[in-house]
Structures are given as structure tokens and as C-alpha cells.
């Protein structure tokens, strides 16, 4: 995972604005099937939105780190 430059992050945020989430992660967490869907979507689209349910911000942040670590993706933005 390569960190994004501020310019790259700004460009991705503008591209992502109109996107709808393609993957939703519920109470079951990051299952093998969800991770496979994330990887498939990243290969097809390069940039995706993921919706994570739950109120625990630290848990969502940890999940983001796990997704990026396991897929090699870089986070563009984390809201909520």
C-alpha cells in the first residue's frame, strides 16, 4: 500500500463523490466472501466506496486498515 499524495487524494475524492457504495459490511464483519467482492470490485473499478454499519468509529477504522492491508489498496477518505 502506497500512501497517497494530497493531490492524488483530492482527485480521488472528487471522482468518488458521485459513486454509490458497491460493498456493504454488516455485523458479520469482513468475511472471506466480502473480501473477495472488495477485491473483484477494485480490479473492475480501481476506486470503490464501502459502507460499514455500526457506531464504533475505532472498529470501522481498524476494518479499513485490515481491508487496505489485505488488498494492497490505499484509503482515499474515511467518513463517520
Question: Where do the structural domains in the chain lie, given as residue ranges?
Answer: 18-71
Nearest-5° Cα angle at 72, 67 to 78: 45
Q: DSSP string spanning 36-77? A: HHHHHHHHHHS---EEE-SS-HHHHHHHHHHHHHHH------
| Tens-place pLDDT, residues 6-65 | 999 899 889 999 999 999 998 888 999 999 999 999 999 989 999 998 888 999 999 999
Model pLDDT, residue 1? 62
pTM over 0.85, yes/no: no
Give the CATH superfamily of 18-71.
YhbY-like (3.30.110.60)
Could you tell me how far CA 40 lies from the centroid of its own chain? 13
What are the contacts of 31-36 at 24+ separation with CB within 8 A? 35/67, 35/70, 35/71
Amino acid at each position: 500500500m502506497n500512501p497517497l499524495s494530497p493531490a492524488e487524494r483530492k482527485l480521488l475524492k472528487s471522482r468518488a463523490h458521485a459513486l454509490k457504495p458497491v460493498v456493504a459490511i454488516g455485523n458479520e464483519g469482513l468475511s472471506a466472501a466480502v473480501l473477495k467482492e472488495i477485491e473483484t470490485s477494485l480490479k473492475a473499478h480501481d476506486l470503490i466506496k464501502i459502507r460499514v454499519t455500526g457506531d464504533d468509529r475505532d472498529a470501522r477504522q481498524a476494518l479499513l486498515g485490515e481491508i487496505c492491508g489485505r488488498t494492497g489498496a490505499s484509503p482515499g477518505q474515511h467518513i463517520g
